[in-house]
Amino acid sequence: MKLRSTLCAVAAVMTVGVMGCGEQPRYYRVSIDRAPLGSMPSSCYSSGSAPTPNDRTTNTVDVEQWVLWDGVEGGKYLEVSDINYPLGDVRVDIDVGGAIVSTEADKPTFTTERVQTGPNRSSRATYTLDKAGDTLEGTIALSYECTGTTACPVASCSASLPFVGRRVSAESMIVVNNGAN
């Protein structure tokens, strides 16, 4: 009788694992092409013209590790690093501090925004996944807007950065701390 109970328990666990809430977290090593930031339009500079670069590094990309997983009701979650990119004389600077929830089911899109006052500024980053399997491809659309006063260095600026990534093998480890010593 014990063997039969054990076999039933193993079968139930395997069934739940196969039929669970989507695929387990997928880890990606991602390269982000920052080249578009080197040729921002003159409207992104307070002087009205782009400076001539004196010092420039070429043929490099930012490298990050991202985690993508399925949520409930077709939703997805994307965990990325904090966002800090220069757009001319302004920055898109957002402390992510967690995962970004998808807003589109067919083509996963993840948007996060930081709103500040004095003057009123809005920084936004939108991650669009064109491909998400063993490889990851898409773009990060960055935008900055400032309204309300003359204290704005730039009224608005935007850029789009392409990224590519490769899925890496990793075992997830969840650490639970109940606060007890």
The residue-averaged pLDDT of 2-13 equals 40
The residue-averaged pLDDT of 92-98 equals 93
Residue 158 has pLDDT above 90, yes or no: yes
Give the closest residue to 70 by CA, choosing from 96, 105, 28, 95.
Answer: 105
Query: Model-level pTM?
Result: 0.79
Residue 78 has pLDDT above 80, yes or no: yes
Amino acid in position 24: Q
Half-sphere CA count of 38, side-chain side, radius 13 A: 12
Task: Look at the block and give the residue holding tokens 């193993």.
Answer: 10
pLDDT given for residue 180 in this prediction: 60
Kindly report the average pLDDT of the chain as a whole number. Answer: 83
pLDDT given for residue 149 in this prediction: 67
